[in-house]
Amino acid sequence: MQLTRFSDYSLRVLMFLAHRQGAHTTIKEVSDAHRISENHLMKVVHHLSKRGYVKTARGKGGGIGLAQEPSEIIIGQVVRDVEPLTPVECFEVDYDGSCLLFPNCRLRGVLHLAQSRFLETLDNYSVSDLIGPKGSNAKLIKRSARRALVAP
């Protein structure tokens, strides 16, 4: 199964924030660290905030942070919340059944099973499992902090 960039960026944001837990973090810092457009990340952070993964604060001293402990954020649930999960058109809720194979198609069942197993595997991991021991991604975090200091 291929995930969208939106899912990739969502997971990157959550991992970055988990490493910076308790620290003031901005979308620009995440953008600089991962070399991702700030505009894309604003959409991602907004969605993650609406789903309760990220908390945001505007204004001076504002920023973003995790709204839950990293160990409580289950990767499979994040993917379900950000990914459309319709690998083929007949998975869509309002599918009209126009495919001639639809009534007896076994491919749909196989794809559904594969997708379920994929998500069940992701359900075994949390954000804390993905970030490893504290400091293991220190280079990424330091690079972000260094860029933030020299930013205009």
The pLDDT confidence band at residue 142, using thresholds 50, 70 and 90, is very low
Sequence-distant (6+) residues with CB within 8 A of 46 are: none
What value does the mean pLDDT take over residues 7-30? 93
CA distance between the termini of the chain: 41
pLDDT above 90 (res 21): no
Domain boundaries, the chain: 5-150
The pLDDT confidence band at residue 73, using thresholds 50, 70 and 90, is very high
pLDDT above 70 (res 144): no
The CATH number of domain 5-150 is 1.10.15.40: no
SS3 of residue 73 by DSSP: coil
Q: What does the CA dihedral 96, 98, 100, 101 come to, rounded to 10 degrees?
A: -40
Q: How far is residue 94's CA from residue 118's CA, in Å, rounded to a whole number? A: 24
SS3 of residue 54 by DSSP: strand
Model confidence over 34-62: pLDDT tens digits?
Answer: 999 999 999 999 999 999 999 998 888 78
pTM of this structure: 0.79
